[in-house]
Every structure is written in C-alpha cells, then in structure tokens.
C-alpha cells in the first residue's frame, strides 16, 4: 500500500506539496520536482503527475494550500482568542514565514512564476484566499466593505513581506520581522484613521452612492 492508495487527488496534492517545494529548491517548479517528491513519498510518479495537470501554478497553488492547512491545524480558533486582533494576525503571518523557512529559492522561483502576466489572475486569487484564511482565523466577521479592504491590505502586506523574506540573510530573519512589524503598525494607524473618518456607528459606505458622486459631483 502506498500513500496514494488512501487519498483523494486533492489530499494527495496537499501531501506531496511540501516535498515538491523542497525539490523545487533545486529542480524548480517542474515535472522533475514532482517525480522526486513522488519517489520520496513512495507514490507512483504517474499518479503524482496526474494530480498536477496544469504545470507550475498547480504545484505552487498546492504548496500555498498546504501552508494554509498547516496554519489551521496549528491554530484552532480558541488558541488565539485571548490575543488582541493585531497580535493574532502577526502570529499567523510569522507562522507562515516559519513554515517556508529554508525554501527561499523555491519561493523566489514561485514568485517569478506568479508574476508572469498569464498567471496574474490566479496569483491574485491565491493571495486573496490566504489573506481571507488569516482573517477568518483571527476572528474577523466583517461583512461590509471592511471585509474586502482588510483582505486586500493584508494580502499586500504579506506579498511585500515575502519579497523581503526571500533575500533576508539576517539572523532569525530579523530584517523581515522588523519590516512586517512596520507594515502592521501602518495598518493599525490606517484602521484607526478610517474609523474616525467614517464614524461607522452613523455612516455606512455605499458603492452605488460613491460611484454616483463620481459621475454627478456636488456643485
């Protein structure tokens, strides 16, 4: 019996993804990386190849999904309940960075592939899903426009932090963590400013009203 015998295709992707990422350090996000991961896991290489029909972006997507899954396993909601929200978010971000430590070259190659124009839409979707996962674990229940601004903002912070992380040679990734803390402090100031300006207890953002004002500005 092999690893693949008891797993669905989606489960096999998640199981192989961390090994593929390790192989991608040397082989890139390639069929060779899949074959190497399959051999290490005792999976038929043809079965492994079948699980990733769409090439490098399939492999990278599975890697991201495996980090998401590990994050949910590590942090059940009650484990973060005692922390302020900004510390919950920071802890989740740091966990994600620690989960990919040692695979900076695989990350560098993944970021280059994700930046290709043909992959832009899928890359944005992956970034959004990771940000959404973090906010949900942090206990965010916003359903208005804040739902979208929080995820867009956190996604941008995470992407920028990864760009620093991949070239950070400092001990314990100190430069990355300092960069992350500066960006999170900036988010905190923005959220406070936004709350003061919008006065959410009396004002509600309306996309239709906003667009109407753009089209028919007040005189």
Count of other CB atoms within 10 angstroms of residue 133: 20
Same domain, 74 and 18: no
Q: Which of 53, 71, 94 is the last residue of a domain?
A: 53
Same domain, 48 and 86: no
Indicate the number of domains in the chain. Answer: 2
Residue-wise pLDDT tens digits, 102-143: 999 999 999 999 999 999 999 999 999 999 999 999 998 887
Predicted confidence (pLDDT) at residue 14 exceeds the cutoff of 50: yes
Give residue 198's pLDDT. 46
Residue-wise pLDDT tens digits, 147-175: 888 899 999 999 999 999 999 999 999 99
Same domain, 33 and 125: no
Q: How far apart are CA 160 and CA 180, in angstroms?
A: 9
CATH assignment at residue 79 = 1.10.357
Q: How far apart are CA 23 and CA 35, in angstroms?
A: 9
Same domain, 45 and 68: no
Same domain, 117 and 179: yes
Same domain, 28 and 97: no
Contact 62, 16 (CB under 8 A): yes
Count of other CB atoms within 10 angstroms of residue 60: 26
DSSP 170: S
Same domain, 153 and 177: yes
Tokens, residue 45:
């290489």
> Minimal CA–CA distance to 146: which of 183, 187, 181, 185?
187
Confidence class for position 192, pLDDT limits 50, 70, 90: low
Contact 71, 133 (CB under 8 A): yes
Confidence class for position 202, pLDDT limits 50, 70, 90: very low
Give the residue numbers spanning the domain of 164. 56-215
Same domain, 71 and 130: yes
Residue-wise pLDDT tens digits, 30-79: 999 999 999 999 999 999 999 999 999 999 999 999 999 999 999 988 88
Give residue 44's pLDDT. 94
Place of tokens 């930046």: 115
pTM: 0.82
Tokens, residue 19:
């090994």
């Amino acid at each position: 019996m092999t690893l693949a015998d008891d797993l669905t295709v989606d489960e096999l992707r998640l199981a192989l993804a961390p090994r593929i990422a390790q192989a991608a350090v040397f082989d890139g996000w390639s069929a060779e990386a899949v074959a190497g991961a399959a051999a290490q896991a005792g999976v038929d290489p043809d079965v492994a190849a079948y699980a990733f029909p769409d090439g490098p972006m399939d492999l990278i997507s599975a890697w991201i999904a495996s980090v998401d899954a590990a994050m949910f396993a590590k942090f059940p909601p009650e484990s973060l309940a005692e922390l302020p929200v900004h510390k919950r978010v920071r802890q989740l971000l740091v966990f994600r960075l620690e989960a990919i430590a040692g695979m900076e070259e695989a990350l560098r190659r993944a970021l280059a592939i994700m930046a290709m124009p043909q992959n832009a839409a899928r890359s944005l979707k992956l970034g959004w899903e990771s940000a959404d996962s973090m906010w949900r674990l942090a206990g965010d229940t916003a359903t208005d426009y804040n739902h979208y601004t929080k995820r867009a903002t956190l996604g941008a912070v995470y992407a920028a932090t990864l760009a620093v992380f991949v070239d950070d040679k400092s001990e314990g990734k100190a430069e990355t963590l300092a960069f992350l803390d500066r960006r999170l402090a900036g988010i905190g100031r923005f959220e406070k400013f936004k709350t003061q300006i919008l006065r959410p207890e009396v004002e509600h953002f309306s996309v239709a009203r906003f667009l109407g004002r753009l089209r028919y500005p007040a005189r």
